[in-house]
Amino acid sequence: MAINDPLGDMLTRIRNGQMRRMSRVSTPGSKLRERVLEVLQSEGYIRGFSSTEHGNGRTEFDIELKYYDGQPVIREIARVSKPGRRVYASVATMPRVANGLGITILSTPKGVMADHQARENNVGGEVLCQVV
């Protein structure tokens, strides 16, 4: 089955896994997904992830979800820029999530990064998702 929005699919798998209190979820691999998972791990929203190599060049990520006092660390994760409607932001118009308590993940010319890193590097880009 073809997936039109691979990143949205991964975010939905994370959201569904946390609703079911699963410790791990798996998703097909891609470079964009890997970069987003690296940002989520560095910001402390997931414990970690590992890559499994299958035959004929296919990879799969095993994402270890994070909980605190029995509640998921990710309270809300939402896709912003979708295949039907791309959303871009400059440094001046970059959205703040939950008054700075959450993060926005952007795809910039300098790579995929969180909004605070993009402000430090003075770059804008495509707003991929928001996490609280």
Kindly give, in sequence order, each residue whose CB lies less than 8 Å from that of residue 108, ignoring residues fewer than 6 positions away: 118, 121, 123, 124, 125, 126
Q: Which CATH class is domain 6-131?
A: alpha beta
| Both tokens assigned to 62 | 């095993």
CA 132/CA 125 separation, integer angstroms: 20
Mean pLDDT of 94-116: 96
Q: Is 43 exposed, middle or buried (0-12, 13-18, 19+ CB in 10 A)?
A: middle
pLDDT of residue 91: 97
pLDDT digits (tens, 9 = 90+) for 27-73: 999 999 999 999 999 999 999 999 999 988 899 999 999 999 999 99
Q: Residue 1: which pLDDT band, with cuts at 50, 70 and 90?
A: low
pLDDT exceeds 90 at position 84 = yes
- Read off the tokens for 42: 């560095």
Query: How long a stretch of residues is the chain?
Result: 132
- 119, 92 contact by CB (below 8 A): no
Task: Give residue 51's Cα distance to chain centre.
Answer: 16
- What residues does each domain of the chain span? 6-131
